[in-house]
Structure 1
Amino acid sequence: MRELQCGVLVVGGGAAGTRAAYEAKRAHPELEVCLAVTGRYETGGSTNMVASEALGINAPFNCEGDGDDPEIYLEDTLQTGGGLGDSALCWVLAHEAADRVRELAELGVPFAHRGGHLEQQKLSGCTRARSLTCGGSTGRQITRCLKQAALAQGVRLLEQVSILGLCREENGRVCGAWGRDEAGALRIRAGAVVLATGGAGSIFSVNVTPPTQTGDGWAMAYEAGCRFVNMEFFQIGPAVVCPGLTFIIHSHMWRFLPKLTNRDGAEFLARYCQGGTTPEEALDRKAMSYPFSVRTDAKYVDIGIFQEIAQGRGTEEGGIWFDVSHVTREELLAKAPITYNTLLRAGIDCAVEPLQVTMAVQNFNGGILIDTNGFTGVEGLYAAGEITGGVHGSDRPGGNNLTDTQVFGYRAGRAAADHAASAPAAAVVLEEAGPRLEPDEEERALIAQSERLYYQNLTVVRNSQGLQRVLDFTGAHLRPGISAPLRNRLLLGRLFAMAQLTRTESRGTHYREDHPETAPEWRRRLVFRRGADGEAVLCQDENEAK
């Protein structure tokens, strides 16, 4: 096994990872800082995708003069999170967002301006206009500018590197990572490691995430002893299924009041609306609530789409028909130009013909439990971005995810560098026999089966029977000797199912059709960790969860 050595190793080349590497090098220029990315830098990570009309990042600048400030931002984040966000993390997010976003603008991120000042929009879960965008390419612009700045500082970029496990000493301290690159097996020794590998959307059969998002960072953190919080909460929303492209449908496309029909041409939304909500009202509210959440009546749109497909009334491609042909081409171009032109390039003119949409896994609110400096509780290991949990609670305001990457990427990078600068030299590293890196034919079939099973039972509509099916499946196949890709997917599917089965209520992005009400006694976070036998166990009290 070839070996490299550095002061700080950052794993993941999205907005969080690149910010962490940049800040680690700025904090301690004497350290070698390596940024390891799967594939080529520009093609990896959710941040680099352009998959929507607009992608926002929040900061309470009050550019629109509506009275926004950090305390209002904090209250919005806590309220939208259903009481399950970590108040200390949320405070840091709200009070440091403006500084971090201002630094991005200084690095050259071309945020939209209007009337001589930054333009801010009000997104779902926000009571003020605080989101800045570069259209649909906001994340890509952020990583582009951060990459330039990081390389200029002297960060070493390692491309085509797949990190598959963490190196640890006998006392449990993380002192590097192992994996492979184009030349073969590779070990990277480091004084500290920052995980910024994102979520696990690709373990579900329908998703709008890069294929590399398979939760490997979560799996290695789990084996190292990290705690996981809010794993039952993740975001699923409407996305294009035909033509085949990775693109979500939100904002103005719902204000056009699309006609939704199943494979038989029947409109179905009225059958799912309850409590006096009309289909028109549900569609209008969907414009301000992209991901499925029980917080608003837009939930009926998502439940209707998912159930029509699940009950066999979807199209052959696995969607429902979404028709805005009653809207003029001029209005579509004026209010949803990126969506219209993206679809047109893919062969659909939505001004004259319908497209097909489905419900797709998009983003994760839970993950590794961190403190305000991105420390995971395992010596030498830090984390930032979508891989972490605690900031977002049961739901999150639109635009908060990118803010999270910058605020905690900044803090995790600097804290990791401080640790590496003072850490003793690594003692003898445990030589762990890693699992097979490639699944065999039978395992590939099991992976495909798990993707369908997880999508059917762990996404929009959840119930005890479906969750038990996932636990039975994962329990039957999670055994010694299986390949890393299969093991990681089974482990994570089991963790999701355990969290969802434990929470017997509906809250935010977690909908249990057998427990549809939000229960005050469930205003508490679920924290899981690896038990002595390898099975996930629920921390029973606050001291154990800390």
Structure 2
Amino acid sequence: FKVGAELVDMEMVQFHPTGMVFPSSSKGLLVTEAVRGEGGKLYNSLGERFMARYDAEKMELSTRDIVTRSIFSEIQEGRASEHGGVYLDISHLPDETIKQKLGTMLKQFLDVGIDIRRQPMEVSPTAHHFMGGIRVNEVCRSSISNLFACGEVSGGVHGANRLGGNSLAETQVFGSIAGEYAAKEARKLPYGDINYAVLDEEHDRLYRFEEGEGVLPYELKARLQTTMWQNVGIIRTEKSLKEAIAEIKEIKNEIYSIKVESGLRYNLELLAAVDLENMLLVAEIITRAALMRKESRGAHFRKDYPREDRRWLKNIILSKINDGIEIYTEAPLITKMKP
């Protein structure tokens, strides 16, 4: 993006409804949807089987998006479990069923001291997959000459939502295509010359962190993660998105006061500072795209625009222009199946 690659569908971030929240060392690890498929029940801190409020017919077997938003709403409205999630309980199932059907989950929790045959799991939605990414054509070529992209780094393959299992197929199909065409192009190219001016510029960019006043990169990273989760996560509004943009701008202004340890060997603080710069850029791109799309579609849910709008049957494209972000829309090319 920084050197000219176009991005597409960056507002489309898929969340998995159930990730571990406790212990903190396992936070975010997926709890397979098979747990609910085998009869797992969701409860809030009041002991209510709350899915009855959101989808009384399908309950825990409702669609991924509905279950995700339901859990998030319970947490946001103050009915969270002890560690900030909700309870997922399978203790009513026979031990043998759990061992045979959910053996991987049983081991995953036993490894951290939780016996899901007797105790409920604490779960919360967790970021799972980016449908957005580098915009490519049918041979995985990006808008930058000789740059090919495939897999989750590319965008546009899954539309507004991804079906489970399709990521593996995507890596095989588009990995093969990208590799084939990138190899063909590479054979035509001579070895390039090293641009020492660019190296010097990058050196200066990295070492400027040693001149900071003492703010730790981890503190700013935590602030960014908090604002993105609360304001740009599962449920979005114009107000929350604008608040996120303001906070991102503020953190950007503070990044130049970051102080890191000197030296390059095992300098985790320097790595965190460099990561933070890129995270801020991606966060702003996601937020601006989400603010522009005034509807709900797929993984993108706007509480102030809760319905799908046919006028928004189009992709949002983003590119770098000078020191800013250019953002525009483009209608998809429909060749077979009309939406």
Fold conserved between structures, TM > 0.5: yes
Deviation at 1:424, TM superposition (A): 3.2
- Name the structure 2 match of 1:284: 61
Deviation at 1:501, TM superposition (A): 0.7
- CA deviation map 1:198-227 (0-9, x unaligned): xxxxxxxxxxxxxxxxxxxxxxxx101111
For residues 216 and 314 of structure 2, the distance between their equivalents in structure 1, rounded to whole angstroms, comes to: 40
- Give TM-score, length-normalised by structure 2: 0.83
For residues 251 and 425 of structure 1, the distance between their equivalents in structure 2, rounded to whole angstroms, comes to: 49
- Structure 2 letter corresponding to 1:411: I
| Aligned 8 A contact 2:37 2:61 in 1 | yes
- Name the structure 2 match of 1:538: 327
- CA deviation map 1:14-33 (0-9, x unaligned): xxxxxxxxxxxxxxxxxxxx
- Name the structure 1 match of 2:162: 396
- CA deviation map 1:216-255 (0-9, x unaligned): xxxxxx1011111111112111112124425322333113
For residues 316 and 431 of structure 1, the distance between their equivalents in structure 2, rounded to whole angstroms, comes to: 54
After TM superposition, the structure 1 = structure 2 runs for residues 8-407 of structure 1, keeping only pairs within 5 Å, are 222-237=1-16, 238-243=18-23, 244-245=25-26, 246-271=28-53, 273=54, 277-278=55-56, 281-286=58-63, 289=64, 292=65, 299=66, 301-407=67-173
| Aligned 8 A contact 2:134 2:153 in 1 | yes
Aligned to 2:129, the other structure's residue is in SS state: strand
> Structure 2: which 5+ residue stretches go unaligned?
259-272, 333-339
Which of residues 214, 218, 223 is equivalent to 1:449? 223
> Structure 1: which 5+ residue stretches go unaligned?
1-221, 293-298
For residues 426 and 252 of structure 1, the distance between their equivalents in structure 2, rounded to whole angstroms, comes to: 51
For residues 89 and 297 of structure 2, the distance between their equivalents in structure 1, rounded to whole angstroms, comes to: 31
Identical-pair percentage = 29
After TM superposition, the structure 1 = structure 2 runs for residues 493-532 of structure 1, keeping only pairs within 5 Å, are 493-532=283-322
Aligned to 1:242, the other structure's residue is in SS state: coil
Aligned to 1:383, the other structure's residue is in SS state: coil
| Aligned 8 A contact 1:319 1:357 in 2 | yes
- Name the structure 1 match of 2:206: 436
For residues 258 and 542 of structure 1, the distance between their equivalents in structure 2, rounded to whole angstroms, comes to: 41
Rate the CA distance shift 1:527–1:306 in 2: closer, same or farther, 3 A.
Answer: same
- Name the structure 1 match of 2:232: 458
| Aligned 8 A contact 1:235 1:363 in 2 | yes
For residues 505 and 430 of structure 1, the distance between their equivalents in structure 2, rounded to whole angstroms, comes to: 47
- Structure 2 letter corresponding to 1:236: F
- Name the structure 2 match of 1:74: none
For residues 416 and 236 of structure 1, the distance between their equivalents in structure 2, rounded to whole angstroms, comes to: 32
For residues 7 and 231 of structure 2, the distance between their equivalents in structure 1, rounded to whole angstroms, comes to: 21
Deviation at 1:269, TM superposition (A): 2.6
- Structure 1 letter corresponding to 2:41: K
| Aligned 8 A contact 1:241 1:358 in 2 | yes
| Aligned 8 A contact 1:239 1:247 in 2 | yes
Which of residues 485, 501, 505 is equivalent to 2:275? 485
Deviation at 1:541, TM superposition (A): 5.1
- Structure having the larger proportion of residues in helix: 2
- Structure 2 letter corresponding to 1:535: G
Rate the CA distance shift 1:352–1:541 in 2: closer, same or farther, 3 A.
Answer: closer
- Structure having the larger proportion of residues in strand: 1
- CA deviation map 1:275-294 (0-9, x unaligned): xx31x5131235xx4xx3xx
| Aligned 8 A contact 1:528 1:538 in 2 | yes
Aligned to 1:450, the other structure's residue is in SS state: helix
Which shifted more, 330-339 or 390-399? 330-339
For residues 7 and 180 of structure 2, the distance between their equivalents in structure 1, rounded to whole angstroms, comes to: 23
For residues 197 and 173 of structure 2, the distance between their equivalents in structure 1, rounded to whole angstroms, comes to: 35
Runs of 4+ aligned structure 1 residues displaced above 4 Å come to 437-440, 479-483, 540-543
- Structure 2 letter corresponding to 1:313: R
Aligned to 1:231, the other structure's residue is in SS state: coil
Rate the CA distance shift 1:353–1:414 in 2: closer, same or farther, 3 A.
Answer: same
For residues 372 and 541 of structure 1, the distance between their equivalents in structure 2, rounded to whole angstroms, comes to: 17
For residues 456 and 364 of structure 1, the distance between their equivalents in structure 2, rounded to whole angstroms, comes to: 18
- CA deviation map 1:353-385 (0-9, x unaligned): 111001111111110001122211211211111
Which of residues 406, 411, 416 is equivalent to 2:182? 416
Deviation at 1:265, TM superposition (A): 3.2
| Aligned 8 A contact 2:236 2:302 in 1 | yes
| Aligned 8 A contact 1:310 1:456 in 2 | no
Aligned to 1:539, the other structure's residue is in SS state: strand
For residues 307 and 284 of structure 1, the distance between their equivalents in structure 2, rounded to whole angstroms, comes to: 17
- CA deviation map 1:156-194 (0-9, x unaligned): xxxxxxxxxxxxxxxxxxxxxxxxxxxxxxxxxxxxxxx
Which shifted more, 325-334 or 314-323? 314-323
